[in-house]
Structure 1
Amino acid sequence: MRIKNTLNHLNKLIDYNPNLNEAQNNRLRQTPFKWVFDMTDHIKVSGPLLEELLSRWDSIIHGFRVGCKTVAFAPADVCIALGLQIVGTTVPVPLNDNIDCHVKSLFNGEDVTIDNIQQKLNVLNTEQDIEDFCRLYILFAFFALYFPKKSRNVTSVPFKLLDDLNLLETYNWGQAVYEDLVESINTAAAKYAQSGGDSGKKMILSGCSAILQLVEDLVPTEEDQQFDVVAEVIRQSEVMHTNDIDTDFDATAILRKQRILFDHNKTFRERIFMFVKDFKHMTTVYFVLM
């Protein structure tokens, strides 16, 4: 079975990052999404890896079956992978609000698409309107990375919350991204099970599936590869199909890259550690004051 993702606009966002100036960078660093514009390398999600993860998904525990244990997939994984906080006010659902707001007014009634967002960003960049520029940049990130869907128009994102950039840090974005992805995994895993992994079928996995490549526990070690089931997975993944073109696929090399990607997030883990430490301190102070 061919598993496709909805991150086809992500590399457009990454390509746009070098265009950000110092003032825009400084303003974005004051939001919860301050690490997005640090992304410089294109990201490619492995279809065979996604298929293997779907086949191992436990919809009750919310984790992946590996050998005789289940590796939990939790909001903390989103926090580590994307640097998003997992405390704060719940992001209103459904994400696709139809309420008129300032951000939507910037499009003058036109459909909101990635192309339109990029055009507006170029105009705002010329006008040096930093606030509106950052609103649209984050909207771009919402649809390209955090809440991607198979749609031409930008949908399923909380437009109205972007009206006040200063309030963004009060929301639990990590939990929102996690729940959006888990809902998609649950649906896709159920369809995968029903199809029996039919190689002639295609399936779309929406949500921020790039996170799944950073779950370190799912990277087989040399010891893991001694198990027949793991060896069989690697054997069957010798060839992958991308855009209907056969491409040599080295599973070991891909898994090695995933480990490297996770290692690159070492600074994220250090930042998260400091965040947790500060949060515990704030909690202690709060109860002392009470």
Structure 2
Amino acid sequence: MLTARYDKFCFSIYLQICHVKNDITIFFLFQICFRHSCRTKLIGSLNNKLTDEQKSFIRGTPFGWMVELTESVKISRNLLTPLISRWVERLGGFDMSAQVVGFTYLDVCLGLGLRVVGENIDLNQEGLNSDSRNLFGASQVVDIDMVYDYILKHIKVLCLEDFGKLYVLLAISEFLLPNRNGTIFSILFNIVDDLGSIGKFNWGRVVYEFLVGSICEAKLFLKEKQSTKHFHVAGCVYLLQLWSFDHFLIPNLKDCQRTTKFPRILHWMEMKAGDNVIKRSLTNNTVVADVAASAEELTNPFVKEGFEVYGRQSKGTKIVDLIKAVEQQESVLGELQKELEDLNAMMIERKNQRQHQQGKMNFSDFGEASAGHSQTPNSNHPIGCIEFGNSGDRGHVEEVHFPNQDTQESEQSNMYVRRREGPRLRVKSIAIRTPFAAFSGRKRNK
């Protein structure tokens, strides 16, 4: 039995664990609270204060899409817990009942637009003397709140380069690599000092490994059933929601529209996954095992080199071609449907015309009487004259009712009428001719 409660960034799960011993069932109730620090509150608030010149400068970096983020980008409240419980570390994916669906570098590349090829970043490495770090004095620890306050205080006097360094530092530390204390890894100060070469690093890999490492610890914590009531998941947990939208989470159909926005977070951040949507998507066992890039996304150099390195470009290209073929077939089906509707309307019109013409003909036949035949309004049978007698002398004349053709056809389809008009003659052999089986009223000769 799973029940989820939400309080800010707190996720609660009640696990009812059943132990059976000597035919006695004992229930233990554990409350586990999952928290995270992935948010866009500071960076979203800062985006509202940027000038066009500052936005243009940020867009020139690999993190230019962050100027589009709002303050309300966050993971759905009941999504983190079931995904952690379904994580399979050995296979690097989530158990979605039908199969284990992988969570890979390419999901980070498509979801966040980060490069998954390049120089690796060691977050445990101590940074050397940094100009960005020196802006905060001799403080040993610098957190995201200090950087945000400094930017707001000096936003009008900071040059574009210094502003860009602090902005990228804040965005990475608050959304991509957040931790429980909000502190900033010291190596990041040295990296942002040279914005011109910031794109050479493998940002997708460091974001992926930082998040997956925390997920593995959370799953181990869930298995060991420790007495601690909460666990803090570090990293960009919103990436799990982007992965869910691509693989199994189905929002309202009216929101499911194709988009060319890249990275995909710019499209999915507007979608809200409610509790009912999450519950329905987790129980219907319908998943997309593999996700591919669209033709527009493959034009991005980060996506192109990512698919080349991980050997899925050919597969992705085939899927793109398949999507194009499906769109073309849908267009043809639409045209055929329209033609079918036109033909149907034409058939209905011709049927109405034919019925109208038949009605006129029947009315004309009903109103006219031939010289040798007549028809009364209250009778369905025409009346004719037949002479009985020899050819030499005229015999008597009688009126004979001839059945109408339509009436005759209707009577022919009636079994009772056919038997009434001409009963079937039964012929019995001599062998079975007994006093109890005779056609006529003849009596037995004595």
TM norm structure 1: 0.74
Q: In structure 2, how many angstroms separate the alpha carbons of the residues matched to 1:57 and 1:278?
A: 26
| Structure 1 residue 47 displacement after superposition | 4.1
2:128 maps to what in 1?
99
Q: In structure 1, how many angstroms separate the alpha carbons of the residues matched to 2:199 and 2:51?
A: 22
Q: In structure 2, how many angstroms separate the alpha carbons of the residues matched to 1:119 and 1:256?
A: 43
2:300 maps to what in 1?
275
| Structure 1 residue 152 displacement after superposition | 4.3
Bigger radius of gyration among the two: 2
1:2 maps to what in 2?
33
Q: In structure 2, how many angstroms separate the alpha carbons of the residues matched to 1:118 and 1:5?
A: 20
1:122 maps to what in 2?
152
| Structure 1 residue 207 displacement after superposition | 0.4
1:159 maps to what in 2?
189
- Partner SS for 1:19: coil
1:85 maps to what in 2?
115
CA RMSD across the alignment:
2.9
Q: In structure 1, how many angstroms separate the alpha carbons of the residues matched to 2:153 and 2:189?
A: 20
Q: In 2 relative to 1, CA 220–34 (structure 1 residues): closer, same or farther, beyond 3 Å?
A: closer
2:275 maps to what in 1?
251
Q: In structure 1, how many angstroms separate the alpha carbons of the residues matched to 2:84 and 2:93?
A: 10
- Partner SS for 2:164: helix
| Structure 1 residue 187 displacement after superposition | 1.0
Amino acid at match of 1:145: F
Q: Find 1:205's aligned residue among 229, 233, 254.
A: 233
Q: In structure 2, how many angstroms separate the alpha carbons of the residues matched to 1:211 and 1:54?
A: 13
Q: In 2 relative to 1, CA 279–250 (structure 1 residues): closer, same or farther, beyond 3 Å?
A: closer
Q: In structure 1, how many angstroms separate the alpha carbons of the residues matched to 2:35 and 2:302?
A: 38
Q: Any unmatched runs of 5+ in structure 2?
A: 1-31, 253-272, 282-292, 309-446
Q: In structure 2, how many angstroms separate the alpha carbons of the residues matched to 1:189 and 1:153?
A: 24
- Partner SS for 1:204: strand
| Structure 1 residue 57 displacement after superposition | 0.5
| Structure 1 residue 220 displacement after superposition | 6.2
Of structures 1 and 2, the one scoring higher in RCO (CA 8 A, sep 6+) is 1
Q: In structure 2, how many angstroms separate the alpha carbons of the residues matched to 1:278 and 1:218?
A: 22
1:133 maps to what in 2?
163
Contact 1:88–1:172 under 8 Å retained in 2: yes
Contact 2:36–2:232 under 8 Å retained in 1: yes
| Structure 1 residue 120 displacement after superposition | 1.6
| Structure 1 residue 11 displacement after superposition | 1.6
Between Structure 1 and Structure 2, which shows a larger proportion of helix residues?
Answer: 1
Q: In structure 2, how many angstroms separate the alpha carbons of the residues matched to 1:151 and 1:270?
A: 41
| Structure 1 residue 12 displacement after superposition | 1.9
Contact 1:3–1:47 under 8 Å retained in 2: no
1:68 maps to what in 2?
98
- Partner SS for 2:64: coil
Q: In 2 relative to 1, CA 193–29 (structure 1 residues): closer, same or farther, beyond 3 Å?
A: same
Structure 1 residue runs of 4+, over 4 Å off?
253-257, 268-271, 276-280
| Structure 1 residue 40 displacement after superposition | 2.3
